[in-house]
Structure formats: structure tokens, C-alpha cells
Amino acid sequence: RSDSAWKLYAMLCGIWRIAGEDVTIIDAQGNVQLATGADGRQCELHRESDSLFMAEVGEKKVSAQLAHGGAELQWDEGTCREPVLPDSAVAGPVEVGSKSERFVIVLRHGQSEYNAAVRKTGKDPGIIDAPLTSKGRRQAVAARDKLGSLLSREGLPFPFLVITSPLSRALATCLAAADLDRWDCPVEVWPSVREFFSSSDDLGRPPEELALEFPTLAEQLKALPQVWWTVPAEYSSLPPGAAMLQAYQSDKELWHESGRRHRADRVADIIQRLRSLPWPAGRSCVLVVAHCNLLSDLSKEILGERRRLHNCEALTMPFNL
């Protein structure tokens, strides 16, 4: 939305009293919803232009527009320029959806060489920190427009922060899909949103290698621990690379158990860290670029249901925790 549309959108929510009748307008998961007086009829205000929303409730028509430096609501024959109660005071009686001003958008990485190999053979190909395939790179580029459409459709501003896993498939997807110049927001690399260890591609690479491949994030990548991915204590002294891959291939169950251990704790830590971010006032969102199983667990905690995303599929989650 344009600045004027956002201004009107923010001004609309509240209780308006027109010709003795209360008209309640609330924000329900990105849609401006309207309900009337005692009968509780509900409908959605449709955006006609950047400065005009309109709806019909039975035989009555309602329009909301910018006027005289504020919002003006016309309800049938009556006009009102200020809600008697602002949005923050509206509670309870109108149940049209869960209200949230904060949203977490998650994006799974594009197809990796590991994904492609497993699809073809059904076997772990033994690729450390698997990069994107050419298809995966195309998916990541296409995700930029899809994210733009998602933000517009959900009525969300640009993310104030982008968070990415340090695994290469997530880093490459992040830098291709996030419209960072337009969004004018920082990127933070969080090792905590890496995938739960379950295969060779969850073995990471040392910070200096990642910094060379992703120079725009070099400062953050160089600050990572030398081994920032999951490694059983029994193999913590091994150098990254071939020796670590061989150790995994010879003792997979131990590595898989390490991946399962503290899984819930890691998700809880991610949610706590998201909660403690400096969220801007009003509607705001962050983008998290990560992995299938991690995002499945995260959606279970935030939404109450697991969502398994396809490569470069995005999901918007109201963040009420």
C-alpha cells in the first residue's frame, strides 16, 4: 500500500458512533473488517483507491476516506470524522479473527543439491552444506516478487529485519529473495535457525569460507564460532570437512540423536529472541529464511499446527506470543 493508504488503514480501526448507531471496525489478520451495532453484521471494507475504502451492509453503504487531515467515515446518511474509541480500546464483542500487529513471515530455502539428489535416488548424497541447484536459484529469485505480493495481500509493511540461517542454501535464498534495497532493512545471521541435524547437508562450513562466498554478510559470518552447527560431543575435536562427514556416515544414529536433542529448547529460544526484538509501533513484520523441519516446529509453536513448506514457499504467522 502507498503511504496514504497505510495512513487511512491505521486510522479506521475503532468504534465510530454515527446517527446513534455504533459501527465497529477492526483489523483481522490483514483485512479491515466492519461490524454494525446490535445485529453484529460483518463485512470487509474493500480498498477502492489509496484514500478510499467502501462496503455495503444490507441496504446501507459505508465509505471511509482521508479528509481534513484525518479519516472520515460515512455511514448511510451520517458522517463521522473521529472514532469514539480508538483501536486499542476495541475488545471482545466482534470476533472476526485473531488480532495481531506483529507478524513473522517464514520462507523455506530453494531447492538444494541435496534435495534434488534425494528426490532422484532416495539416498543421502553426502554433500556438506549443499548449495542451491539452478532450479533453486530460480526459485529464490522468483520468491522476491512472491514476497512483495504477499506483503501487499496481507496489508503488511516491508520487514524491519530479515533473519537467515548460516547454511548456504538459506544464505543464497535470503540474498536473492529479500528486496533489501527497497526494504532498507538489515539482515541478521542466526545460527539458531539452522536445520535440525538429520543429513550430510546439515554439516556447515567454517565462517571464513562462508564470508568469501557471501561477502555482503562477511562481517557477521566471520563472527560465527568456527563450528556453529550441531556436532556430537564425541566428535567435537574433528576439523570441519571430509573428516566430519566421514564421522557422520559411520555413526549416523549418534548424530541424529544430537539433532533431536534440545529441539524444543531451540525453538523456544528462537521465539524468545523474536519476542525481544525492537518491534516498531503499529503493524510490523520480520522475515525468517530457514529450513523445512525447523520451520515446521516453529509454526507448531506459533500457530498451533505444523506446516511443512515446499522449497521457497512462504508463510505468514501472526506473532501473539
Q: What is the pLDDT of residues 174-219, one digit of tens each?
A: 999 999 999 999 999 999 999 999 999 999 999 999 999 999 999 9
What mean pLDDT comes out for the span 119-124?
A: 94
What mean pLDDT comes out for the span 74-86?
A: 57
Question: Phi and psi for 2 in degrees, rounded to 5?
Answer: -75, 170
Between the CA of residue 61 and those of 35, 36, 39, 45, 75, what are the distances in Å? 12, 12, 16, 10, 6
> With pLDDT > 70 as the criterion, what percentage of the chain qualifies?
70
Rounded CA Rg of the chain: 24
Sorting pLDDT into bands at 50, 70 and 90, what band is 155?
A: confident
Between the CA of residue 213 and those of 172, 217, 242, what are the distances in Å? 9, 9, 19
The answer to whether residue 34 scores a pLDDT higher than 90 is no
- In single-letter form, the type of residue at position 191 comes to P
Return d(Cα 208, Cα 206) in angstroms, integer.
6
pLDDT at 78: 63
Lowest mean pLDDT, pick from 13-17, 33-37, 82-86: 82-86
The answer to whether residue 25 scores a pLDDT higher than 90 is no
The answer to whether residue 90 scores a pLDDT higher than 80 is no
